[in-house]
Structure 1
Amino acid sequence: MNSTDENAEWSEVIGFWFPEGRSLQIDAAKHKALWVWRMRGGAHEAVTRRFSELTEAAAAGRLAHWAADREGRLALIILLDQFSRSVWQGSARAFAQDPAALALTREGLSNGHYAALPTPWFKVVFGLPLGHCEGPDHLARLDLLIRLREDIAAEAPVPLRPIYTSLVKQARDVRQIVATFGRHPHRNALLGRTSTREEEAYLTTGDFPHLRAFEGQDEGE
């Protein structure tokens, strides 16, 4: 495969995951609807149909060279952190790529790839593994994620700021859950983990931070 073919493949991933494109003049209501589509499973069927093979290749490490380009790195993060959750939905493998996605994010924060991304929506997705990947440094990573999202919200076009402010709140809510339980309890059953009594009470509520984005926003915002 030549470099042009590779670029076309990662451009297809980015074009699919970000239908709003790159213009910061996007209508706020339309942009919010696309975030809901991305974050609440609206793309599961299309992802599985179109990107299963590419997600398998990324998980096997065959696309690691994409990370030399900032948008190739973003596309890899999308495959490993987002599309894996659709392709392997309902199994532990959905989360097995989280460490690899986190490594891509960390390196991209240090080598300038993150800072060079052209839109706030690219940056939000680039940072998702900081909160998704469980581990001993999870709270420190969530603190970093909150700071990054605060910066994104402050720099976003004024009509879009309520959307990105809500994503700051979501990251804070996730931090509270991880500070309480040390992990994402809603994954316990899929990962074969025994829930504590406190986790069982939390799970019974069904009130999970990854379903709370955009709460408190009016449709016109």
Structure 2
Amino acid sequence: MQDPPTPPLPSTSSVLPSARIAALVDGGASDARLDELCAALGQELAPADAPYEEVLAHWFGAPGSTWHPRYRGPSDLWFRATPEQDEEIRVRFGERYEAAAAGALASWADTPRGALALVLLLDQLPRHMFRGRARMFATDEAARAVAERLLTSQAQGWLSPPQLAFVYMCLEHAE
């Protein structure tokens, strides 16, 4: 028996952010204009009161910044973290990780940004919090389920290329 199709996640506008950015880049927009649009996208796409925004801000920086064509993320955090960074993540996000692992944050997956934050919380952050221990893989399956739903929902168009890279990276962790 086949599962019913997953309904698309809600969006805030009918024009995808990637289309807005592409139109400006193709039109020869200045970096300043691109900065303005990325900041506006951040305000539009990132509800200030959403509990998942702290996870995204820690991982990617200011909301909207990842849409800029010249975005350079915190690769040291992503790929060469220090014990101090691991401890900061453990202290700052440990309780949220435990809640996500228990399924208490499942509603985050109802929006594209919330789903991305949940993928990070279940896939990337445990690799910092529990580095070198088997527990760092404990929520990989749950992260994969969120990532697969996100990628089959048409909602991935609301995430920037750097954000999507971490959704796909979660799938690479399937072992």
Partner in structure 2 of residue 160 of structure 1: none
* TM-score (normalizing by structure 1): 0.52
Q: Give 1:106 shift.
A: 0.8
Q: Give 1:73 shift.
A: 0.5
- Counterpart of 1:81 in structure 2: which amino acid? D
1:1-221 mapped onto 2 (5 Å cutoff): 7-19=49-61, 21-23=63-65, 24-25=67-68, 27=70, 31=72, 34-42=74-82, 43-117=85-159, 119-134=160-175
Q: Give a deviation string over 1:65-103, Cα, whole Å, max 9, x none.
A: 110111110000000001111222222111011111111
Q: Give 1:40 shift.
A: 2.0
Which one has more relative contact order, counting CA pairs under 8 Å at least 6 apart? 2
Partner in structure 2 of residue 177 of structure 1: none
Q: Count matched residues.
A: 126
In 2: Cα distance, 1:48 partner to 1:57 partner: 13
How has the CA–CA distance of structure 1 residues 115 and 27 changed in structure 2, closer, same or farther, with 3 Å as cutoff? closer
- Counterpart of 2:137 in structure 1: which amino acid? F
Q: Secondary structure at the match of 2:108?
A: helix
Q: Give 1:7 shift.
A: 4.8
Q: Give 1:20 shift.
A: 5.2
- Counterpart of 2:162 in structure 1: which amino acid? W
- Counterpart of 2:81 in structure 1: which amino acid? G
In 1: Cα distance, 2:167 partner to 2:53 partner: 15
- Counterpart of 1:120 in structure 2: which amino acid? P
How has the CA–CA distance of structure 1 residues 64 and 87 changed in structure 2, closer, same or farther, with 3 Å as cutoff? same
In 2: Cα distance, 1:40 partner to 1:84 partner: 15
In 2: Cα distance, 1:41 partner to 1:54 partner: 20
* TM-score (normalizing by structure 2): 0.65
Q: % of aligned pairs identical? A: 36
- Counterpart of 2:167 in structure 1: which amino acid? F
In 1: Cα distance, 2:113 partner to 2:163 partner: 9
Q: Give 1:128 shift.
A: 1.4
Give structure 1 stretches of 5+ with no counterpart: 135-221
